[in-house]
């Protein structure tokens, strides 16, 4: 019997996060600059002869059994249930899921897992879907079906993969792949530090709070979102021209703007790690995702990188190795 598999890459969002959250893109148009890395969400599926859906989640240490026609949302594995319901399973299945980053990490792990799940069901049921269709299905499952607060960037980043400048318009989303010179790509990878803060958070709460502030017209929040959109454009230009020192400085500016979106985006621990890194040579950086915890991304000139990594570790952070990846969602099958 065949086993069907899929994996989707997690992402680093450099700038623009927040401008992809409704209603900002519908009113003003949003943009996000991001790339994917060699950390993945994985899904494996083996069809069953009966009508049971058996789910094993390594991340949550859960094994759960359901009837495929009785998938009620109750807060446990709802993402998996929603994808299964969307595809109208023809039989039962065993599902095994896990991710290289914990939920609440700021690397888009929840949306990336949803993309991997859509990919594995697509592979099983032989449903040919375009990248745009996969990303839109994932977005609708998370934001409309399950009513999880958040934006659109993660679904598109995980599906398409690579360096992208993504535009969120009123009636469409456009993914613009960036042709970055290999030497610039390699140098950027060498100059970045990905540091786990030791804390995770529920991003939906922070996103919901900043969305309320935008809807209420709070000027600091609106101004910060507008400025971050401009900064994403500037950072894209710096990357394409190979001006990495300017890119690093813009990361710092983007972080100062991002903190205006909501008080919970940063914390005493995050501020301490960032200040330590800056004091010892980091040019710029930011917390990834909605904030509040997860991973800190830092741009550090190569002569100071190892020293900054050491002082971050001494301050309680955990630098994590990574590499950029060009591929997005992939799916395949093997004989058991």
| Torsion sign across C-alpha atoms 232, 235, 239, 244 | negative
Give the bridge partners for 167, in sequence order: 31, 174
Based on the domain organization, do 107 and 138 belong to the same domain? yes
**pLDDT digit string (tens) for 275-320?**
999 999 999 999 998 667 789 999 999 999 999 999 999 999 999 9
307's tokens = 């020293």
Q: How many CB atoms lie within 10 A of CB 100?
A: 20
**pLDDT digit string (tens) for 170-196?**
999 999 999 999 999 999 999 999 999
The CATH number assigned to the domain holding 208 equals: 3.30.70.890
pTM score above 0.85: yes
Based on the domain organization, do 286 and 197 belong to the same domain? yes
Based on the domain organization, do 212 and 139 belong to the same domain? no
**pLDDT digit string (tens) for 13-57?**
999 999 999 999 999 999 999 999 999 999 999 999 999 999 999
Using the 3D structure, point to which of 179, 210, 227 is the last residue of a domain.
179
Interstrand relation of 52-57 and 93-99 (parallel, antiparallel or unpaired): parallel
- CA 328 – CA 234 distance, rounded (Å): 25
- CA 99 – CA 102 distance, rounded (Å): 7
Assigned domain for 333 exists: no
**pLDDT digit string (tens) for 198-243?**
876 656 677 778 788 888 888 988 999 999 999 999 999 999 999 9
- pLDDT for res 261: 87
Based on the domain organization, do 246 and 140 belong to the same domain? no
- pLDDT for res 241: 97
Based on the domain organization, do 175 and 187 belong to the same domain? no
Domain residue limits at 309: 182-324
75-100: average pLDDT: 93
8 Å CB contact between 244 and 188: yes
Assigned domain for 202 exists: yes
- Mind telling me the catalytic residues? 154
In the numeric block, the tokens 């919970």 are attached to 264
Based on the domain organization, do 175 and 243 belong to the same domain? no
DSSP H or E segment with residue 155: helix 153-160
- CA 258 – CA 271 distance, rounded (Å): 13
Q: What is the mean pLDDT of the chain?
A: 92
- How many domains, in total, are found in the chain? 2
Using the 3D structure, point to which of 152, 179, 206 is the last residue of a domain.
179
211's tokens = 């969305």
Instruction: For the chain, give the percent of residues with pLDDT over 90.
Output: 77
pLDDT at 104 over 80: no
| Cα–Cα distances in angstroms (integers) from residue 28 to residues 11, 19, 72, 189, in the given order | 24, 9, 37, 32
- CA 153 – CA 41 distance, rounded (Å): 16
List the strands of the sheet with 192-196, edge to edge.
Answer: 284-287, 295-299, 192-196, 318-320
234 alpha carbon, distance to own chain's centre: 21
Q: Counting runs of H as helices and runs of E as strands, what totals does the chain give?
A: 11, 13
- pLDDT for res 185: 97
Among 323, 325, 322, 336, CA closest to 5: 336
- pLDDT for res 138: 96
The CATH number assigned to the domain holding 105 equals: 3.30.230.10
Of 2-11, 23-32, 51-60, 261-270, which gets the smallest average pLDDT?
261-270
Based on the domain organization, do 157 and 202 belong to the same domain? no
- pLDDT for res 87: 94
- DSSP-derived letter for residue 55 is E
Assigned domain for 217 exists: yes
First and final C-alpha spacing in the chain: 6
Based on the domain organization, do 210 and 119 belong to the same domain? no
Based on the domain organization, do 172 and 187 belong to the same domain? no
Among 97, 94, 212, CA closest to 149: 212
SS3 content of the chain, % helix, strand, coil (to 5): 45, 25, 30
170's tokens = 């009123």
Give the bridge partners for 196, in sequence order: 295, 318
């Amino acid at each position: 019997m065949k086993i069907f598999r899929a994996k989707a890459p997690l992402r680093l969002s450099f700038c623009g996060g927040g401008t992809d959250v409704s209603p900002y893109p519908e009113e003003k148009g949003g943009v996000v600059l991001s790339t994917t890395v060699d950390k993945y969400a994985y899904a494996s599926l083996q069809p069953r002869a009966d009508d049971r859906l058996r789910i094993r989640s390594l991340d949550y240490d859960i094994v759960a059994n359901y009837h495929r026609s009785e998938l009620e949302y109750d807060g446990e594995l709802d993402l998996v249930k929603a994808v299964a319901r969307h595809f109208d399973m023809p039989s039962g299945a065993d599902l095994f899921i896990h991710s290289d980053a914990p939920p609440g990490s700021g690397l888009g792990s929840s949306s990336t897992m949803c993309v991997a799940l859509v990919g594995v069901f697509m592979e099983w049921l032989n449903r040919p879907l375009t990248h745009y269709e996969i990303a839109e299905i994932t977005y609708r499952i998370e934001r409309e079906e399950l009513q999880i607060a958040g934006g659109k960037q993660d679904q598109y980043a995980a599906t398409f993969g690579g360096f992208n400048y993504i535009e969120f318009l009123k009636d469409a989303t456009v993914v613009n792949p960036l042709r970055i010179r290999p030497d610039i790509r390699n140098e950027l990878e060498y100059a970045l530090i990905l540091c786990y803060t030791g804390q995770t958070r529920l991003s939906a709460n922070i996103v919901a709070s900043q969305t309320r502030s935008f809807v209420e017209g709070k000027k600091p929040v609106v101004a910060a979102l507008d400025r971050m959109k401009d900064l994403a454009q500037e950072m894209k230009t710096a990357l394409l021209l190979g001006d990495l020192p300017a890119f690093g400085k813009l990361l710092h500016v983007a972080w100062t703007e991002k903190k205006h979106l909501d008080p919970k985006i940063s914390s005493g621990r995050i501020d301490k790690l960032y200040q330590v890194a800056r004091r010892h040579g980091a040019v710029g950086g930011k917390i990834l995702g909605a904030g509040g915890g997860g991973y800190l991304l830092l741009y550090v000139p190569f002569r100071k990188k190892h020293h900054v990594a050491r002082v971050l570790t001494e301050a309680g952070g955990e630098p994590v190795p990574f590499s950029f990846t060009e591929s997005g969602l992939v799916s395949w099958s093997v004989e058991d």
